[in-house]
């Protein structure tokens, strides 16, 4: 589709605006991470005068942040994996099967979000401990599933509904079972939705604070947000280290998203069997 | 609700009729079983880990439970206490304003970003990942950075505006009654818009290009294409996203807690702040639960209103 | 043709994997092997790096020496109540904690440690200052052991004050305002870096009000009597409005959190702040140029006398512990003189036991001496009000600071704001009778 010059100008213009909008706070974060302590607290400067990597070194060596990043990563990945699988199955069930009560389940699934985490985390922790999963990654993952699955199921329900049934029916006429039709036809076509669900799941699990605070007890299980909060020591923020930690924590996820983007395009190309 | 019967009508393969009756495991039964089996992992998790806490929270609101101390039924005492708490009405109002304004801003911004990212632009993959970053970082970090940027004495925004001559005196963005809520909303929108952008973008990518090409041949403007092709195709996604994020935004805690602590005075106090202070600071779980329960009708109302609107949209589409 | 049967198989496959993933999530886990060593869980107070490290190191050495397996978790003070709430409700409590002593005591969660208290008293020649008042309950029992007293000092830029012609510390709150007005150098340096927000550093204003003669509740701490002190409150409000209108408070104080007064002073932007010596310890490490210019004064007095709240740090044992005696031994050993000498030299605490007084660390610096003054001249928190649950709840609510915010943020008139304050106090105190 050829774009007129005007459309191109508007598009790139808006893009520039958005990029600046996102970049300014990020820039602030990164420059804070490379300023010396002295620079941070005495005079204000837009750019670091004497950039240094000492905050990063401190955060990696002294605080051992890489362990926490690894913890966050594995918790988020496993949560995402289970979520996408379970949600796809559930969404497929609600949308393509008929049985009593399925519409109500579709509705009630959302009600989970009505109560704030400030209320729910106590009983959640009670359950996790009762199962013997206190201070474990498994315990954390279990609680994270409670807020990733409802949303992803709902999202995928929307996607699946928008997919023409005829394609699956065609596959079944060609000899597939219902499940097979899902795996061979529906899921590939829903790749963007699946990837979006995966990204949401991952991010929710990656950033979660309250449950991780309560469930994790030591360095071996602590996730990144909790570790970063410990860089607010008493009544002082250790700004340099905090921002260095934040930058380090954002890099792996940023890379993951960059790759995920490409996967969406590939998935679409693979499943482009329309009409 | 959003129902069109999308269940698959499966033509009967020949061999069943030939192989004889399987009356117990009829097609219908197998379908029901299949559906339930697929649903079961989700259902299992949700029953145990959602229903129980939900019921527990409601029970709490009727008890005088404090941490570690068994609670007794006290009827409506907590509710009466909480409703007459001076900040309660402020919380109602602020939660409403915060939610509605933030969701609208996020929607518009997210849609605009998605539209731009859906175009053929150079370096598209990079920009897509880049514009997601605000959502990627822990909320804690994001709001601290914004807090610091807003600071009147040491913050970037004031320094820049003073240097550029836009203002003469520093503006205490988060501490002035008129600017506190807008400032909180701006920081929150910055953090959360990628969620919308991503969802809409994913939806846009399933729209076949031929539709746009055909429309262009017919002489439709870009705006018309957006209105008559893009938007309708996104109804489901928009429905899901707006509904859920409305609830999530109403339940937002970190933006307010980290930026203003509910202040100045009660200008940004939302209901989650009340729940936190009553439950986590004062350790009076019954009161905290009562606040949560009192806000449920508001949230349920929102769910019903939005799904109702979507139903009508869907029917007229 | 044969698809039908494989369909069943596939469905079974899905079913199995679905159930398996569910089972895996709830999987049975081997119970921790019963080791030879008793296991203790210790939640250490995280507030100041050097102090935290000292306590953690001690715990690790102690555990090794006493053949105890100790799991140490550093809990930021802000998150402690959240964590302990969940732990108690889940019946998965730690053994030893270093926060929330008074709150947990009120909820009946702590082990009786009267014997530890009395032993320490005997071994160390007695407790100091307000310490016994925090520990001894009316019936003589003790449930938490203090290891430090803390509080705010007046931290001041004596160089700027000298420039403005002031050599002596301010004796009254009025003097503070006079000195602040003259010594400040707008727009860079403000006179008083004190929050008027919903965060607890703002409770200094309540202390000021009490020094003007007002009190929240009666002698028993049950009935709200602030309404009877309207005259004193109005005088206090006059003072506050003078401070506010003098422009000595930096912009933004109405949403300052507890870190802002620190960072404002540390970056040289305030003449006076009220804070614990965490500022001085930070300066020592990060901005040593500013330290010699910093003075540490006692709290000034109001018209009705000096009120100087001292709070505390304590260690306590959850009553659910399986090893009460080992825990008590830990508490005892933690108060060892040599150990405390090392620890107090890098912490923000004033001493609690008489045997700590001879430490030379108190004379090493200005601010350490300030701590001794705090310990000897300070009063228990809330004085003259009773330090009970009701008082603590209104204090966490920053009631007086909110009263002030109603005046300067919402522009309410005094009667309306005061009526709301009384309503809030009555609701809070009403819950605890």
Flag whether pLDDT at B67 surpasses 50.
Answer: yes
C431 and B81 within 8 Å at the Cβ level: the answer is: yes
Flag whether pLDDT at C399 surpasses 90.
Answer: yes
B32 interfacial to chain C (CB closer than 8 Å): no
Instruction: Take residue B154 and report the two structure tokens written for it.
Output: 């040491």
Chains meeting A at 3+ CB pairs closer than 8 A? B, C
User: Could you say which of C25, C82, C267 has the minimum Cβ distance to residue A41?
Assistant: C267
**Per residue in B131-144, pLDDT tens?**
988 988 888 889 98
Distances (CA, A) of A240 to A40, C256, C275: 8, 20, 23
Residues of B in contact with C25 (CB under 8 A): 45
A224 and B4 within 8 Å at the Cβ level: the answer is: no
Minimal CA separation from B177 to chain A, in Å: 24
B233 interfacial to chain A (CB closer than 8 Å): yes
A116 interfacial to chain C (CB closer than 8 Å): no
CB atoms within 10 A of CB A16: 11
**Separation between Cα atoms, residue C427 and residue C181, nearest integer Å:** 39
Q: Count how many domains chain A has.
A: 1
**A38 falls within a domain:** no
**Separation between Cα atoms, residue C282 and residue C259, nearest integer Å:** 12
**A31 falls within a domain:** no
Instruction: Take residue A95 and report the two structure tokens written for it.
Output: 């949308």
A99 and B138 within 8 Å at the Cβ level: the answer is: no
| Residue numbers of B between 122 and 161 with CB closer than 8 Å to C | 151-154
B280 interfacial to chain C (CB closer than 8 Å): yes
**Separation between Cα atoms, residue C13 and residue C244, nearest integer Å:** 73
Flag whether pLDDT at C23 surpasses 60.
Answer: no
C197 interfacial to chain B (CB closer than 8 Å): yes
Mean pLDDT over C30-42 rounds to 67
C18 interfacial to chain B (CB closer than 8 Å): yes
**Separation between Cα atoms, residue B187 and residue A265, nearest integer Å:** 31
Residue that the structure tokens 């779980």 belong to = B285
Q: At C420, which helix (H) or strand (E)?
A: helix C414-431
Q: What is the mean pLDDT of chain C?
A: 87
Binning pLDDT at 50, 70 and 90, where does residue B309 land? Answer: low
C11 interfacial to chain B (CB closer than 8 Å): yes
Flag whether pLDDT at C340 surpasses 50.
Answer: yes
Mean pLDDT over C245-267 rounds to 92
**Separation between Cα atoms, residue B182 and residue C186, nearest integer Å:** 28
Instruction: Take residue A202 and report the two structure tokens written for it.
Output: 């991952």
Domain at A130, CATH number: 1.10.3720.10
Size of interface A-C (CB pairs under 8 A): 113
Share of chain C above pLDDT 90, in %: 60
Flag whether pLDDT at C4 surpasses 60.
Answer: no
Could you tell me the sign of the dihedral formed by the alpha carbons of A123, A125, A127, A129, in that order? negative
B159 and A225 within 8 Å at the Cβ level: the answer is: no
**Separation between Cα atoms, residue A237 and residue A234, nearest integer Å:** 8
DSSP string, C195-240: --SSSGGGGHHHHHHHHTT--SB-TTS-SB-GGGGHHHHHHHHHHH
A66 interfacial to chain C (CB closer than 8 Å): no
Share of chain B above pLDDT 90, in %: 25
C334 interfacial to chain B (CB closer than 8 Å): no
Residues of A in contact with B49 (CB under 8 A): 124, 127, 142-143, 145-146
CB atoms within 10 A of CB B55: 11
Instruction: Take residue C404 and report the two structure tokens written for it.
Output: 């002030």
Chains meeting C at 3+ CB pairs closer than 8 A? A, B
Minimal CA separation from B7 to chain C, in Å: 17
Lowest mean pLDDT among A77-81, B79-83, B310-314: B310-314
B260 and C255 within 8 Å at the Cβ level: the answer is: yes
User: Could you say which of B34, B169, B261 has the minimum Cβ distance to residue C198?
Assistant: B261
**Per residue in A189-219, pLDDT tens?**
787 788 878 888 898 899 888 888 888 888 8
**A34 falls within a domain:** no
Share of chain B above pLDDT 70, in %: 87
B283 and C427 within 8 Å at the Cβ level: the answer is: no
Contact C67, C355 (CB under 8 A): no
**Per residue in A72-102, pLDDT tens?**
999 999 999 999 999 998 888 888 877 777 7
Higher pLDDT, B219 or C33: B219
Closest CA to B204 of C16, C209, A265: A265
**Separation between Cα atoms, residue C274 and residue C271, nearest integer Å:** 10
B152 and C88 within 8 Å at the Cβ level: the answer is: no
B265 interfacial to chain C (CB closer than 8 Å): yes
Mean pLDDT over C163-174 rounds to 93
Contact B252, A117 (CB under 8 A): no
C21 and A142 within 8 Å at the Cβ level: the answer is: no
Q: At B203, which helix (H) or strand (E)?
A: helix B177-204
Lowest mean pLDDT among A12-21, B17-26, C177-186, C197-206: B17-26
A48 interfacial to chain C (CB closer than 8 Å): no
Mean pLDDT over B257-264 rounds to 90
C421 interfacial to chain B (CB closer than 8 Å): no
Higher pLDDT, B125 or C71: C71
pLDDT at position A263 is 64
Going by CATH, does the domain composed of B77-316 fall within 1.10.260.40?
Answer: no
pLDDT at position B312 is 58
C4 and B16 within 8 Å at the Cβ level: the answer is: yes
**Per residue in A31-58, pLDDT tens?**
888 888 777 777 778 888 888 898 899 8
| Residue numbers of B between 173 and 192 with CB closer than 8 Å to C | 174-175, 177, 180
**Per residue in C142-151, pLDDT tens?**
999 999 998 8
Q: At B90, which helix (H) or strand (E)?
A: helix B86-117
Tell me chain A's radius of gyration from C-alpha atoms.
23
Instruction: Give the SS3 label for residue C315.
Output: strand
B22 secondary structure, DSSP code? -
Instruction: Take residue C154 and report the two structure tokens written for it.
Output: 């007046």
Distances (CA, A) of B140 to A22, B144, C328: 17, 6, 38
Q: At C148, which helix (H) or strand (E)?
A: strand C145-150
Residue of A nearest to C93 (CA): A129
pTM: 0.84
Mean pLDDT over B210-233 rounds to 83
B73-98 residues labelled b (16+ CB within 10 A) or e (exposed):
eeeebbbebbeebebbebbbebbeeb
Q: What domains lie within chain C, and their CATH numbers?
A: 39-150+312-380 (3.40.190.10), 153-298+397-431 (3.40.190.10)
**Separation between Cα atoms, residue C51 and residue A111, nearest integer Å:** 46
pLDDT at position C35 is 54
A38 interfacial to chain C (CB closer than 8 Å): yes
Residues of C in contact with A133 (CB under 8 A): 29
**A45 falls within a domain:** no
Mean pLDDT over B93-118 rounds to 91
Size of interface A-B (CB pairs under 8 A): 289
Flag whether pLDDT at C14 surpasses 60.
Answer: no
User: Could you say which of A90, A173, A258 has the minimum Cβ distance to residue B125?
Assistant: A258
Phi/psi-derived region of residue B131, left when phi > 0, alpha when psi is between -120 and 50, beta in every other case: alpha
**Separation between Cα atoms, residue A273 and residue C208, nearest integer Å:** 76
Helix axes B86-117, B177-204, angle to 10 degrees: 40
Binning pLDDT at 50, 70 and 90, where does residue B25 land? Answer: low
B282 secondary structure, DSSP code? S
B317 interfacial to chain A (CB closer than 8 Å): no
A129 and C7 within 8 Å at the Cβ level: the answer is: no
Closest CA to C209 of C191, C229, C183, C185: C229
**Residues contacting B44, CB < 8 A, separation 6+:** C22
What is the tally of helices (H) and strands (E) in chain C?
A: 19, 12
C191 interfacial to chain B (CB closer than 8 Å): no
Flag whether pLDDT at C237 surpasses 90.
Answer: yes
**A39 falls within a domain:** no
Flag whether pLDDT at A262 surpasses 80.
Answer: no
Phi/psi-derived region of residue C361, left when phi > 0, alpha when psi is between -120 and 50, beta in every other case: alpha
Distances (CA, A) of A37 to C264, C267, C278: 15, 11, 17
Mean pLDDT over B205-225 rounds to 83
User: Could you say which of C1, C84, C198 has the minimum Cβ distance to residue B263?
Assistant: C198
pLDDT at position B142 is 92
Mean pLDDT over C185-210 rounds to 94
**Per residue in B138-180, pLDDT tens?**
888 899 899 989 989 888 899 899 888 888 888 999 999 999 9
Highest mean pLDDT among A160-174, B26-40, C54-68: C54-68
Mean pLDDT over B38-67 rounds to 82
Binning pLDDT at 50, 70 and 90, where does residue C3 land? Answer: very low
Binning pLDDT at 50, 70 and 90, where does residue B39 land? Answer: confident
Minimal CA separation from B171 to chain C, in Å: 8
C78 secondary structure, DSSP code? G
**Residues contacting A154, CB < 8 A, separation 6+:** A91, A106, A109, A110, B240, B244
C73 and A229 within 8 Å at the Cβ level: the answer is: no
Residues of B in contact with A46 (CB under 8 A): 156, 159
B5 interfacial to chain C (CB closer than 8 Å): no
Q: Which residues pair with C350 in a beta bridge?
A: C149
Flag whether pLDDT at B236 surpasses 80.
Answer: no
Flag whether pLDDT at B79 surpasses 90.
Answer: yes
Residue C95 CA to its chain's centroid (Å): 21
B84 and C427 within 8 Å at the Cβ level: the answer is: yes
Binning pLDDT at 50, 70 and 90, where does residue B23 land? Answer: low
pLDDT at position B98 is 92
pLDDT at position C398 is 94
pLDDT at position B311 is 60
Phi/psi-derived region of residue C165, left when phi > 0, alpha when psi is between -120 and 50, beta in every other case: left
**Residues contacting C217, CB < 8 A, separation 6+:** C223, C224, C225, C226, C385, C386, C390, C391, C425, C429
Residues of C in contact with A229 (CB under 8 A): 76, 79
**A15 falls within a domain:** no
pLDDT at position C5 is 36
pLDDT at position C10 is 45
Mean pLDDT over C209-213 rounds to 96
**Per residue in A61-78, pLDDT tens?**
888 898 999 999 999 999
Instruction: Take residue A89 and report the two structure tokens written for it.
Output: 């199955």
Binning pLDDT at 50, 70 and 90, where does residue B212 land? Answer: confident
All structural domains of chain B with their residue ranges: 23-61, 77-316
**Separation between Cα atoms, residue A235 and residue C277, nearest integer Å:** 11
**Per residue in A228-243, pLDDT tens?**
888 877 777 888 888 8
* Boundaries of domain holding A205: 63-270
């Amino acid at each position: 589709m050829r774009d007129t010059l005007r459309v191109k100008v508007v598009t790139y213009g808006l893009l520039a605006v958005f990029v600046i909008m996102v970049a300014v706070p990020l820039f602030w974060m990164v420059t804070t991470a490379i300023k010396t302590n002295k620079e941070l607290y005495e005079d204000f400067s837009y750019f670091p005068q004497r950039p240094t990597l000492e905050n990063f070194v401190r955060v990696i060596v002294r605080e051992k942040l890489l362990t926490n990043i690894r913890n966050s990563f594995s918790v988020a990945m496993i949560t995402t994996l289970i979520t996408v699988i379970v949600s796809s199955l559930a969404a497929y069930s609600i949308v393509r099967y008929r049985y009593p009560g399925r519409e109500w389940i579709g509705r009630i699934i959302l009600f989970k979000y009505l109560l704030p985490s400030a209320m729910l985390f106590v009983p959640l922790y009670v359950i996790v401990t009762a199962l013997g999963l206190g201070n474990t990654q498994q315990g954390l993952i279990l609680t994270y599933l409670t807020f990733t699955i409802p949303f992803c199921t709902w999202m995928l329900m929307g996607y699946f509904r928008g997919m023409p049934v005829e394609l699956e029916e065609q596959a079944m006429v060609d000899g597939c079972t219902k499940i097979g039709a899902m795996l061979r036809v529906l899921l590939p076509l829903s790749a963007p939705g699946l990837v979006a669900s995966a990204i949401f799941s991952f991010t929710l699990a990656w950033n979660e604070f309250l449950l991780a605070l309560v469930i994790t007890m030591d360095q071996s299980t602590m996730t990144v947000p909790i570790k970063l909060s410990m860089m607010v020591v008493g009544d002082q923020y250790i700004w340099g280290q905090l921002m260095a930690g934040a930058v380090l924590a954002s890099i792996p996820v940023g890379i993951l998203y960059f790759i995920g983007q490409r996967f969406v395009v590939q998935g679409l190309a693979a499943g482009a069997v329309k009409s | 609700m959003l129902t069109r019967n999308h269940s698959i009508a499966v033509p009967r393969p020949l061999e069943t009729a030939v192989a004889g009756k399987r009356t117990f495991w009829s097609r219908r039964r197998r379908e029901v079983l299949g559906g339930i089996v697929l649903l079961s992992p989700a259902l299992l998790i949700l029953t145990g880990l959602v229903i129980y806490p939900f019921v527990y929270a409601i029970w709490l609101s009727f008890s005088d439970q404090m941490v570690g101390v068994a609670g007794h039924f006290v009827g409506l005492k907590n509710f009466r206490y909480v409703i007459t708490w001076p900040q309660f009405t402020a919380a109602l109002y602020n939660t409403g304003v915060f939610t509605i304004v933030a969701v609208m801003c996020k929607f518009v911004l997210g849609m605009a970003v998605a539209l731009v990212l859906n175009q053929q632009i150079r370096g598209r993959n990079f920009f897509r990942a880049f514009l997601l970053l605000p959502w990627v970082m822990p909320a804690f970090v994001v709001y601290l950075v914004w807090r610091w940027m807003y600071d009147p004495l040491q913050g970037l925004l004031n320094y820049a505006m003073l240097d550029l001559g836009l203002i003469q005196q520093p503006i205490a963005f988060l501490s002035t009654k008129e600017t506190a809520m807008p400032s909180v909303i701006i920081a929150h929108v910055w953090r959360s818009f990628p969620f919308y952008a991503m969802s809409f973008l994913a939806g846009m990518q399933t729209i076949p290009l031929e539709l746009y090409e055909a429309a262009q041949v017919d002489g439709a403007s870009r705006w018309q294409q957006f209105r008559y092709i893009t938007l309708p195709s996104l109804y489901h996604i928009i429905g899901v996203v707006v509904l859920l994020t409305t609830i999530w935004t109403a339940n937002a805690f970190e933006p307010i807690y980290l930026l203003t602590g509910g202040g100045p005075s009660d200008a940004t106090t939302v209901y989650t702040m009340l729940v936190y202070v009553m439950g986590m600071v004062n350790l009076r779980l019954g009161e905290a639960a009562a606040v949560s329960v009192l806000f449920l009708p508001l949230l349920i109302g929102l769910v019903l209103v939005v799904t109702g609107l979507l139903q009508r949209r869907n029917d007229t589409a | 043709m044969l698809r039908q049967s494989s369909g069943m198989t596939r469905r079974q496959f899905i079913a199995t994997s679905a159930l398996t993933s569910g089972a895996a999530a709830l999987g049975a886990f081997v119970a921790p092997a019963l080791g030879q060593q008793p296991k203790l869980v210790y939640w250490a107070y995280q507030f100041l790096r050097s102090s935290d490290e000292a306590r953690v190191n001690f715990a690790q050495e102690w555990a090794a020496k006493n053949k105890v397996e100790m799991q140490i978790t550093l809990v930021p003070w802000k998150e402690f109540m959240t964590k302990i709430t969940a732990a108690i409700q889940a019946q998965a409590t730690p053994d030893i904690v270093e926060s929330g002593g008074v709150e947990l005591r009120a909820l009946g969660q702590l082990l009786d440690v009267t014997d530890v208290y009395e032993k320490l008293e005997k071994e160390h020649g007695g407790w100091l200052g307000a310490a016994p008042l925090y520990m001894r309950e009316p019936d003589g029992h003790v449930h938490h052991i203090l290891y430090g007293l803390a509080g705010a000092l007046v931290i001041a830029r004596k160089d700027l004050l000298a420039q403005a012609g002031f050599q002596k510390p301010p004796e009254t709150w009025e003097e503070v305002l006079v000195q602040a007005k003259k010594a400040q150098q707008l727009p860079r340096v403000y006179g008083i870096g004190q929050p008027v927000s919903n965060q607890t550093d703002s409770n200094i204003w309540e202390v000021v009000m009490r020094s003007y003669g007002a009190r929240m509740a009666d002698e028993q701490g049950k009935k709200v009597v602030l309404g009877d002190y309207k005259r004193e409150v109005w005088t206090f409000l006059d003072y506050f409005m003078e401070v506010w209108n003098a422009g000595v408070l930096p912009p933004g104080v109405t949403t300052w959190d507890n870190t802002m007064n620190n960072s404002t002073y540390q970056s040289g932007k305030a003449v006076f702040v009220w804070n614990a010596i965490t500022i001085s310890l930070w300066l020592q490490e990060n901005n040593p140029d500013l330290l010699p210019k910093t003075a540490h004064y006692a709290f000034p007095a109001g018209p009705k006398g000096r009120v100087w709240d001292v709070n505390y740090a304590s260690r306590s044992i959850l009553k659910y512990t399986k090893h009460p005696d080992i825990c008590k031994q830990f508490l005892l050993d933690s108060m060892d003189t040599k150990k405390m000498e090392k620890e107090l030299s890098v912490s923000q605490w004033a001493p609690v036991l008489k045997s700590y007084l001879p430490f030379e660390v108190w004379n090493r610096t200005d601010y350490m001496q300030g701590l001794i003054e705090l310990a000897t001249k300070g009063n228990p928190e809330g004085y003259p009000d009773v330090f009970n649950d009701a008082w603590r709840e209104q204090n966490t609510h920053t009631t007086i600071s909110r009263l002030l915010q109603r005046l300067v943020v919402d522009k309410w008139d005094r009667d309306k704001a005061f009526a709301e304050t009384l309503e809030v106090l009555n609701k809070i105190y009403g819950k605890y009778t």
